[in-house]
């Protein structure tokens, strides 16, 4: 047993010494050579600048709600038809006779008696027996004769003669009721004749005195209301020629 144990102990001692030497070498090696630093991780490339945060997208609009269904209504009953009325009859147009009568009344109210009588005569011709003309005609004749009297009183011979002659012209009209006048046709005719005689005598006296211009004026006055007076027309013509001859003569003769 001792023989077998000794070589074993020697072998174990040898191994132990060898291991111890190896450990010492390793320890010396580790003290002489510093350990290499561990490899550093590769640097990361610079990152791109962060984009600014974008505005949050608006949420999509909600779908429109469908319009509420309109309940169907029954068609309204048609209003009852209104019966058509016949167009109102247009007022009758004013007749020519009525229009002339209306204008005559306006002239009568303004004192234009002779003009009123002319319009009344036209209305009567369009409509014989016109009630308005029959009512107003005599008033116009009386007013015209009265105006002649007033003009004669003022010495307006020509105006007096015109109005008297006018009254004479209408006094025999069918619309005139001359029986109710305060004068007769012959009396009015005599007034005109007397005026004409007085003017003619005055003109002849003036002519003989050489007042030819004054005489011409009087004969023209007679012809203004009685243009058919032949005697006044001849006298006027003679006096006018003589006046022209006198104007051509040299002065002093």
Domains of the chain by residue range = 95-183, 186-253
CB 145 within 8 Å of CB 164: yes
Q: Quick one: pLDDT at residue 27? A: 45
Give Cα 79 to chain centroid, integer Å: 39
Closest-CA residue to 169 (of 153, 145, 149):
145
Q: Quick one: pLDDT at residue 247? A: 84
Closest-CA residue to 113 (of 163, 157, 155):
163
Q: How far is CA 119 from CA 110, 169, 240, in A?
A: 14, 14, 38
What gap in Å lies between CA 219 and CA 231, rounded to an integer?
9
Q: Quick one: pLDDT at residue 248? A: 82
> Does the domain formed by 186-253 have CATH 1.25.40?
yes
What gap in Å lies between CA 18 and CA 184, rounded to an integer?
198
Q: Quick one: pLDDT at residue 227? A: 96
**Exposed/middle/buried for 173, CB within 10 Å: 0-12, 13-18, 19+?**
middle
Report the chain (253 residues): mean pLDDT per 10 consecutive residues.
50 52 44 47 46 51 57 61 66 87 97 97 96 97 97 96 97 94 96 97 96 96 96 96 86 63
């Amino acid at each position: 047993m001792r023989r077998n144990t000794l070589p074993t102990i020697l072998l174990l001692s040898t191994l132990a010494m060898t291991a111890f030497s190896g450990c010492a070498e390793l320890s010396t090696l580790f003290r002489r050579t510093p350990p290499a630093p561990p490899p550093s991780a590769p640097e990361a490339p610079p990152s791109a600048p962060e984009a600014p945060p974008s505005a949050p997208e608006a949420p999509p609009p909600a779908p429109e709600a469908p319009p509420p269904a309109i309940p169907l209504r029954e068609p309204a009953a048609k209003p009852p038809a209104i019966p058509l009325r016949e167009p109102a009859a247009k007022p009758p147009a004013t007749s020519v006779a009525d229009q002339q009568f209306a204008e005559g009344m306006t002239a009568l109210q303004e004192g234009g008696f002779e003009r009123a009588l002319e319009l009344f005569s036209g209305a009567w011709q369009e409509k014989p027996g016109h009630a308005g003309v029959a009512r107003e005609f005599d008033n116009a004749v009386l007013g015209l004769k009265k105006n002649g009297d007033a003009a004669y009183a003022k010495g307006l011979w020509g105006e007096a003669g015109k109005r008297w002659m006018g009254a004479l012209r209408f006094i025999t009209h069918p619309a005139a009721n001359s029986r109710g006048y305060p004068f007769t046709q012959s009396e009015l005719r005599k007034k005109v004749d007397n005026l004409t005689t007085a003017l003619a005598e005055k003109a002849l006296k003036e002519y003989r005195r050489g007042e030819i211009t004054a005489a011409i004026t009087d004969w023209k006055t007679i012809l203004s209301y009685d243009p058919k007076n032949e005697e006044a027309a001849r006298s006027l013509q003679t006096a006018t020629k003589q006046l022209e001859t006198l104007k051509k003569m040299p002065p002093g003769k």
